């Protein structure tokens, strides 16, 4: 039987279609909340693409950080500011043109970068119908690559995947990502503190003449005069 | 009553968690009856509370102007329907005060048994429902299981489980059947360990204490000013119980009995029983103390019932027959307050020489407790509202009449 | 399993993998749904017994075994109501998002040694990430119901789940630090043996962290005493108010399936996973070394063990729900931020220090005291202690060291190690 389904390609196409389709949905939709939901699905599909590429750590990180964290925040903000159901955002014609220009320019740049990488021409050489057997062995941590450990060590300044690099020239500049890691961590702390500061509950002085529902300040029932 | 000009239908959803009007009830799992409470909240914090009553108004006082005092008895059952016997007792004693009728000792002892049994039953509902409002369903089941046993006893003695019409003016409808007193005592014997279970599950429970301690603290002066009575008043530290301090026609029912008035005078409770310790966070007058006072009163009631059973068995004579059906009332008035489980229940009857009263007035304790809610609930969180209402133990039957 | 199919049935490779994947998914779906059904039965029976009544006694014999089936059929036949003010597509899709998130968690949860649908290198991380996605179903359900009270309840529930993700994640990170790997199968294997190998007894810090984990697991699945958003008296049923029938079934199923997952995760991380207190399978010789089928049998015992532990956790949560009153929402958040997070952070620091200086755990510290002189130093700078102490008696320590590739490559390279180059 020569018929074989290349599941890897199938899933890749599926995830890519979902990612692109729902990204288009974000742009096209006029309801803020639906935009946020399309974004959720699109980023989840990107996480799926990461999983397909064998980068489980990155996929899980994508799910946790983007989908779980950022989008929860986005959805909260969207829903709390939606005054009434189905707030719609209409973009004017000029904005569409500008967006199209920027989008097409970015697309051209990305296309050029993608096609210039020679390793990405054509399918992988060993003719496997599924990449499962290969990735299964790489998924087992005991033998094969321990991607999470390597990423961790890389962030701490030890590029353990390049230990076999003999060339002195190439070895320099391989000190890992410790500085970037620390800078980003401090940056996140600053952002957290700033957000907490901005969101602090401000004690408002009660204005007795402020309009609002007309309930008297004191709720003592006033007994009417007895006849 | 002064029109408050509240527009509770215009509930605004202000995105900056500004003030919001929340309507609790009248159909509500946690208001004890058809009570409607309109809250004005600033985020989670309640800034003002307006209770709306009248959903259960049945013109009880007007109906009393059409019926004889004996015909009116079933209507008193429906006032505080959780403690019908105490309502009957209040009405019966008021009629007896008006007529100058004095019942024999044996009848008084039986009335003590019945009234205190109903006090236990009513406090069980209060305790269970407070647990229920706070989210623990189990004590509710256990208290109702015990209440079933009391209601079975009442069913044996008068045929009804909720609306008894048993304590008639002048006496009781019928004496207790054979072995009833023994069954009462058996119930009390098996009930003591259940109280310890309830203490473990509610009174000493850390979550319960967190939810109820220092929540809705009622200062004693405010309690007296608003006319609060019963466990609500006593939990604020005021040593006042009308079974001891009331009119002689009522207090002679409790003459010769050994019992303590449960009130944290000076922060300390009477120590005639190994009661659970008071948590640090609880302030005198808060919801926890109101709950605790009821639990301790149950123990006192148990002692009273045991003594009453002995006294009843030892008393000579027979039970009094009730007054005649169309007994003419003198052209005078009488007002008497009795200690119902929820507080002091007052009945006033003004006769005009015929068998039908000219005016009857019912003073209910829950009415004053509801009226103190706005004072208590300023500045609490929304989730504290069910706690406070449950600790007040109101029943709308007697508020709306 | 795919290899099995290829070998025995000589099916083409793509078909074998397809069937294997479908079988895995089907089995996991069955487990997820059964856990929901058993969870519901447990809830009703345990709550009834706690409340001194009988509970379900009619459907399916004296103990009401088939009641969940009856409930499911009833709910399927209910009228499909969508409120008029609701956002229809979002309203319809919200329960399924919830269930998908929980099902993804099942994909990464190992039931026995090697018996996991996705043996992920970063399994613990993935599980945490996916459990956090449940919030979407909640928030979407609350928003799309078109009712202010549903939205209010949904926001509060989401706030609670998000807050409790932090201490939950820190508890998991603590175990990852102690075990050295994020791979859940690996973590389970490291606890093989007698019950004192469990990470619960590894050091006092993991012991305390277990109880914090229990509290956070209960809170993150919105169970009592943390179920205020669901059962708050003026919110009726929170975000689920407008849902009825089949859609409600999905919310319900995903709640109970999530309870199974967090219980199973707790059992895996702290209570040995599929390893029983007594290594019966090993004692009976049911290991893969003897024969493949015997190994499979041993694994089956392990899976039963794991499921029993998860259900014990579920029973504990049911017990807790019917015993304790509800905490107020500010008390819930206070518990998280003022108690759980500081405690588990302190435990994390303690566990890290313990792993650094006394890597074998309490039992190894007690039984092999001579293996600790320069333990931590050797592992990072092997050239300082020639030969290192890698051949200490504690097999687990060795296994853990083997799993760190940097250490391995250092040891192999000896004096040509990376640090040596830098120090020159």
Where is B46: in which H helix or E strand? strand B45-52
What pLDDT does C181 receive? 85
Q: What's the rounded Cα separation, in Å, for the pair C268 and C261? A: 10
Question: Which residue ranges make up each domain of chain C?
Answer: 1-70, 78-357, 361-423
Q: Which of residues 77-96 of A touch B (CB under 8 A)?
A: 80-81, 83
pLDDT confidence bin for A122, thresholds 50/70/90: low
pLDDT tier at B32 (50, 70, 90 boundaries)?
A: confident
pLDDT value at residue B293: 93
| Pick from C227, C322, C327: CB nearest B138 | C322
For an interface test with B, the pick among A215, A216, A221, A222 (most B C-beta atoms closer than 10 Å) comes out as A215
Q: Which residues of A touch C129 (CB under 8 A)?
A: 60-61, 63-64, 67-68
**Inter-helix orientation angle B180-198/B138-158, to 10°:** 170
Instruction: List Cα–Cα distances, C32 to B61, C26, C250, in angstroms.
Output: 61, 10, 11
Reported as a pLDDT band with limits 50, 70 and 90, residue B241 is: very high
Asked whether the beta carbons of B19 and B40 are under 8 A apart, the reply is yes
Q: Is the pLDDT of residue A37 over 50?
A: yes
Q: What is the 3-state secondary structure (H, E, C) of B118-157?
A: HHHHHHHHHHHHHHHHHCCCHHHHHHHHHHHHHHHHHHHH
Q: Is B9 on the interface with A (CB under 8 A)?
A: no
Cα–Cα dist A31/A87, whole Å: 6
Between B1, B50, B375, which is nearest A215 by CB?
B50
Domain that residue A181 falls in: 146-200
CA distance C207 to C62: 40
CATH code assigned at A13: 1.20.120.1200
Q: Which two tokens stand for residue B383?
A: 């989730």
pLDDT in tens, B243-266: 998 899 999 999 999 998 888 887
CA-based nearest residue to B131, from C324, C113, C315: C324
Region B99-127: mean pLDDT is: 93
Considering only A152-161, C3-12, C295-304, C315-324, which range has the smallest mean pLDDT? C3-12
Q: Supply the CATH classification number for the domain B60-400.
A: 1.10.645.10
Could A222 and B6 be called an inter-chain contact, meaning their C-beta atoms sit closer than 8 Å?
no
Is some CB atom of chain B closer than 8 A to the CB atom of A208?
no
Domain presence at residue A186: yes
CA dist list (Å): C161 to A59, B92, C130, C228, C336: 22, 58, 13, 12, 10
pLDDT at B266: 79
Least confident of A145-149, B158-162, B333-337, C231-235: C231-235
Distances (CA, A) of C253 to B234, C258, C307: 48, 8, 17
DSSP-assigned states of every residue in chain A: ------HHHHHHHHHHHHHHHHHHHHHH--BHHHHHHHHHHHHHHHHHHHHHTT-HHHHHHIIIIIIIIIHHHHHHHHHHH--SSS-B-PPPHHHHHHHHHHHHHHHHHHHHHHHT-GGGSSS-TT--S-SHHHHHHHH-SSSS--HHHHHHHHHTT--GGGTT---HHHHTT-S-SHHHHHHHHHHHHHHHHHHHHHTPPP-PPP-TT--SS---S--PPPPPPP-
Q: What is the pLDDT of residues B277-327, one digit of tens each?
A: 888 888 888 999 999 999 999 999 999 999 999 999 998 888 888 888 888
Residues 6 or more apart whose CB falls under 8 angstroms from that of C374 comprise C384, C385, C389
Identify the bridge partners of residue B339 per DSSP, sorted by sequence position: B344
Torsion region of B43: left, alpha or beta (phi above 0 gives left; psi -120 to 50 gives alpha): left
**Exposure letters B279-312 (e unless 16+ CB within 10 A, then b):** beebebbbbbbbbbbbbbbbbbbbbbbbbbbebb
Subunits close to B (at least 3 CB pairs below 8 A): A, C
Specify if A72 maps to a domain. yes
What mean pLDDT is predicted for residues B381-392?
Answer: 88
B141·C234 Cβ contact <8 A = no
Number of domains in chain A: 2
Going A18 to A24 to A29 to A34, the CA torsion angle's sign is positive
| Residue of chain B minimizing CA distance to C50 | B138
B3 touches A at CB < 8 Å: no
Per-residue pLDDT, averaged over B380-385, amounts to 85
DSSP class per residue in C153-170:
HHHHHHHHHHHHHHHHHH
Break chain B into its structural domains and give their ranges: 60-400
Q: What are the b/e assignments for B58-79, b being 16+ CB within 10 Å?
A: eebeeebeebbbbebbebbbbb
> What is the C-alpha separation between C108 and B144, in angstroms, rounded?
46
pTM for the structure as a whole: 0.82
β partners of residue A16: none
Mean pLDDT over the full length of chain B: 88
Query: Which helix (H) or strand (E) covers residue C188, if one does?
Result: helix C184-190
CA distances from C408 to A214, C377, C398 (A): 75, 15, 11
Nearest alpha-carbon partner for C341 in C162, C167, C165, C132: C167
Query: Coil, strand or helix: which one is C4?
Result: helix
Q: What are phi and psi of B41, to 5 degrees?
A: -120, 150
User: Chains A and B: how many Cβ contacts under 8 Å?
Assistant: 39
Q: Which of A40, A67, A163 sits opposite C409 (nearest CB)?
A: A163
Residue C283 pLDDT greater than 80, yes or no: no
A70/A67 Cα distance (integer angstroms): 6
CA B224-B230-B233 angle, 5° bins: 35
* Residue among A37, A146, A153 whose CB faces C90 most closely: A37
Place of tokens 């008193």: B76
pLDDT tier for residue B135 given thresholds of 50, 70 and 90: confident
Picking from A113, A130, A157, the residue at the C-terminal end of a domain is A113
State mean pLDDT over C237-249.
80
Q: Using a CB–CB cutoff of 8 Å, tell me whether C47 touches chain B.
A: yes
Report how far apart, in Å, the C-alpha atoms of C163 and of each of A69, C336, C337 are: 12, 7, 8
- Res. C322: pLDDT tops 50: yes
ipTM tops the 0.85 cut:
no
DSSP assignment letter at B201: I
State both tokens at C78.
């209910």
Q: Judge: B136–C331 Cβ closer than 8 Å, yes or no.
A: no
Instruction: Tokens for C352, please give them.
Output: 């890290």
Reported as a pLDDT band with limits 50, 70 and 90, residue B173 is: confident
For C147-157, b/e burial (b = at least 16 CB within 10 A) is bebbbbbbbbb
Optimal mutation site among C53, C222, C234, C324, interface B, most CBs of chain B within 10 A:
C234
Beta-carbon-side half-sphere exposure of residue A118 (alpha carbons within 13 Å): 0
Which of the residues C14, C118, C418 would you substitute to probe the A interface, choosing the one with the greatest number of A C-beta atoms within 10 Å? C14
Count Cβ atoms within 10 A of the Cβ of residue B135 and give its class: 0-12 exposed, 13-18 middle, 19 or more buried: buried
CA separation, residue B60 to residues A109, B74, B161, B330, C180 (Å): 85, 11, 21, 22, 76
Residue C415 DSSP label: G
Least trusted range by pLDDT, from A50-54, A74-78, A216-220, B76-80: A216-220
Q: Is A220 on the interface with B (CB under 8 A)?
A: yes
Q: What is the pLDDT of residue A121?
A: 63
Q: In what order do the strands lie in the sheet with B359-363?
A: B333-340, B343-350, B359-363
Number of residues assigned to chain A: 227
Q: What are phi and psi of C357, to 5 degrees?
A: -95, -35
Supply A218's token pair: 């004191």
Search chain B and give the residue with CA nearest A219: B374
| Residue B88 · residue B167 · CB < 8 Å | yes
Higher pLDDT, C351 or C385: C351
Across all residues in chain A, what is the average pLDDT? 73
Please provide the DSSP assignment of C296-346 as one string.
HHHHHHHHHHHHHHHHHHHHHHHHHHTTS-PPPHHHHHHIIIIIIHHHHHH
H/E run at residue B41: strand B36-42
pLDDT of residue C193: 79
Element (H, E) at B348: strand B343-350
- How far apart CA A76 and CA A33 sit, in angstroms, is 10
Single out the residue of B221, B217, B216, B233 nearest to residue B368, CA to CA.
B233
Q: Among C205, C125, B337, which residue's Cα sits nearest to residue A65?
A: C125
Comparison of pLDDT for B5 and B173, the residue scoring more:
B173
Tens of pLDDT, residues C376-409: 444 444 433 333 333 333 444 444 444 444 333 3
Interface with chain C: mutation pick from B383, B386, B388, B390, highest number of C CBs within 10 Å: B383
For residue C32, count CB atoms less than 10 angstroms from its CB and return exposed for 0-12, middle for 13-18, buried for 19 or more: buried
Distance separating alpha carbons of residues B184 and B302, to the nearest angstrom? 10
In the beta sheet, which residues pair with residue B52? B36
CB-CB contact of C190 with C272 (8 Å)? no
Supply the pLDDT for residue B252: 92
Tokens at C56, concatenated: 């379900």
Chain C nearest C-alpha distance from B52 (Å): 17
Q: Which of A65-69, C56-60, C151-155, C202-206 has the lowest mean pLDDT?
A: C151-155
pLDDT band at C356 (very low <50, low <70, confident <90, very high): confident
Q: Is residue A211 part of a domain?
A: no
What is the pLDDT averaged over residues C79-106? 87
Q: For chain C, what percent of residues have pLDDT higher than 70?
A: 78
């Amino acid at each position: 039987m020569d018929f074989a389904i290349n599941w890897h390609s199938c899933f890749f196409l599926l995830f890519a279609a979902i990612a692109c389709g729902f990204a288009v949905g974000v742009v096209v939709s006029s309801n803020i909340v639906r935009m946020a939901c399309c974004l959720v699905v699109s980023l989840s599909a990107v996480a799926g693409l990461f999983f397909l590429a064998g980068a489980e750590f990155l996929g899980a990180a994508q799910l946790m950080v983007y989908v779980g964290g950022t989008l929860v925040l986005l959805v909260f903000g969207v829903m709390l500011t939606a005054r009434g159901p189905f707030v719609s955002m209409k973009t004017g014609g000029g904005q569409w043109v500008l967006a199209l220009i920027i989008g097409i320019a970015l697309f051209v740049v990305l296309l050029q970068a993608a096609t210039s990488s020679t390793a990405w021409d054509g399918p992988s050489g060993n003719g496997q119908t599924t990449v499962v057997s290969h990735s299964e062995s790489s998924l087992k941590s005991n033998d094969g690559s321990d991607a999470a450990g390597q990423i961790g060590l890389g962030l701490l300044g030890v590029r353990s995947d390049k230990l076999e690099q003999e060339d002195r020239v190439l070895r320099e500049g391989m000190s890992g990502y410790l500085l970037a890691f620390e800078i980003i961590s401090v940056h996140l702390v600053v952002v957290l503190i700033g957000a907490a500061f901005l969101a602090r509950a401000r004690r408002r002085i009660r204005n007795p003449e402020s309009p609002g529902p007309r309930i008297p300040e004191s709720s003592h029932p006033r007994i009417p005069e007895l006849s | 009553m002064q029109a408050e000009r509240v527009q509770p239908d215009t509930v605004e959803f202000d995105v900056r968690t500004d003030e919001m009007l929340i309507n609790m009830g009248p159909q509500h799992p946690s208001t004890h009856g058809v009570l409607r409470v309109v809250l004005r909240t600033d985020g989670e914090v309640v800034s003002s509370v307006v209770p709306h009553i009248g959903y259960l108004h049945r013109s009880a006082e007007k109906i009393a102007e059409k019926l004889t005092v004996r015909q009116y008895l079933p209507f008193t059952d429906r006032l505080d329907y959780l403690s019908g016997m105490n309502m009957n007792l209040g009405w019966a004693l008021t009629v007896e005060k008006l007529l100058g009728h004095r019942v024999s000792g044996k009848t008084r002892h039986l009335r003590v048994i019945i009234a205190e049994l109903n006090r236990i039953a009513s406090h069980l509902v209060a305790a269970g429902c407070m647990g229920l409002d706070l989210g623990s369903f189990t004590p509710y089941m256990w208290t109702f299981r015990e209440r079933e046993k009391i209601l079975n006893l009442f069913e044996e003695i008068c045929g009804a489980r909720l609306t008894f019409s048993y304590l008639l003016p002048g006496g009781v409808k019928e004496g207790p059947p054979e072995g009833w007193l023994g069954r009462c005592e058996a119930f009390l014997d098996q009930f003591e360990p259940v109280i310890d279970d309830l203490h473990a599950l509610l009174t000493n429970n850390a979550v319960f204490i967190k939810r109820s301690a220092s929540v809705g603290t009622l200062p004693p002066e405010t309690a007296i000013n608003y006319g609060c009575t019963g466990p609500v008043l006593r939990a604020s530290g005021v040593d006042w119980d009308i079974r001891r301090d009331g009119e002689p026609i009522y207090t002679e029912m409790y003459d010769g009995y050994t019992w303590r008035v449960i009130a944290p005078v000076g922060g300390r409770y009477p120590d005639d029983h190994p009661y659970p310790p008071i948590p640090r966070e609880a302030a005198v007058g808060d919801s926890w103390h109101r709950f605790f006072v009821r639990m301790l009163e149950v123990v006192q009631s148990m002692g009273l019932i045991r003594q009453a059973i002995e006294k009843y068995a030892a008393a000579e004579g027979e039970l009094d027959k009730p007054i005649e059906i169309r007994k003419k009332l003198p052209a005078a008035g009488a007002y008497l307050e009795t200690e119902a489980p929820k507080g002091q229940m007052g009945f006033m009857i003004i006769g005009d020489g015929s068998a039908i009263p000219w005016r009857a007035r019912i003073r209910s304790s829950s009415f004053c407790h509801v009226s103190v809610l706005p004072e208590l609930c300023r500045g609490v969180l929304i989730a504290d509202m069910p706690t406070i209402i449950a600790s007040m133990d109101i029943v709308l039957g007697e508020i709306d009449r | 399993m795919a290899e099995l199919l290829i070998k025995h049935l000589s099916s083409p490779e793509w078909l074998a993998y397809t069937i294997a994947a479908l079988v895995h998914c089907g089995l996991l779906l069955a487990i997820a749904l059964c856990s929901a059904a058993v969870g519901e039965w447990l809830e009703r029976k345990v709550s009834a017994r706690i409340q001194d009544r009988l509970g379900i006694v009619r459907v399916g014999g004296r103990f009401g075994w088939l009641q969940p089936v009856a409930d499911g059929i009833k709910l399927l036949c209910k009228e499909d109501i969508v409120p008029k003010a609701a956002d229809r597509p979002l309203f319809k899709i919200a329960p399924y998002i919830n269930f998908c998130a929980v099902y993804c968690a099942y994909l990464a949860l190992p039931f026995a040694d090697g018996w996991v649908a996705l043996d992920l290198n970063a399994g613990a991380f993935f599980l945490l990430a996916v459990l956090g996605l449940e919030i979407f179903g909640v928030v979407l359900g609350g928003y799309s119901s078109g009712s202010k009270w549903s939205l209010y309840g949904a926001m509060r529930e989401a706030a609670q789940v998000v807050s409790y993700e932090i201490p939950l994640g820190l508890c998991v990170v603590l175990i990852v630090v102690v075990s050295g790997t994020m791979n859940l199968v690996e973590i389970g294997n490291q606890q093989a043996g007698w019950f004192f190998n469990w990470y619960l007894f590894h050091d006092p810090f993991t012991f305390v962290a277990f109880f914090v984990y229990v509290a956070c697991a209960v809170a993150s699945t919105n169970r009592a005493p943390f179920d205020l958003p669901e059962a708050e008296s003026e919110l009726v049923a929170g975000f689920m108010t407008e849902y009825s029938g089949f859609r409600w079934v999905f919310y319900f199923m995903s709640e109970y399936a999530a309870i199974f997952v967090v219980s199973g995760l707790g059992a895996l991380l702290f209570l040995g996973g599929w390893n029983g207190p007594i290594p019966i399978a090993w004692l009976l010789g049911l290991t893969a070394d003897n024969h493949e089928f015997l190994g499979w049998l041993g694994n089956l015992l392990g899976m039963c063990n794991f499921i029993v532990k998860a259900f014990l956790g579920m029973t504990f949560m049911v017990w807790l729900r019917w015993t304790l009153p509800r905490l107020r929402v500010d008390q819930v958040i206070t518990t998280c931020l003022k108690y759980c997070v500081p405690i588990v952070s302190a435990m994390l620091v303690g566990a890290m220090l313990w792993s650094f200086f006394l890597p074998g755990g309490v039992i190894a510290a007690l039984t092999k005291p001579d293996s600790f002189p320069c333990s931590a130093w050797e592992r990072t700078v092997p050239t300082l202690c020639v030969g290192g102490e890698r051949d200490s008696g504690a097999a687990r320590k060795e296994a853990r060291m083997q799993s760190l590739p940097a250490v391995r490559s250092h040891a192999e390279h000896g004096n040509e190690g990376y640090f040596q180059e830098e120090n020159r």
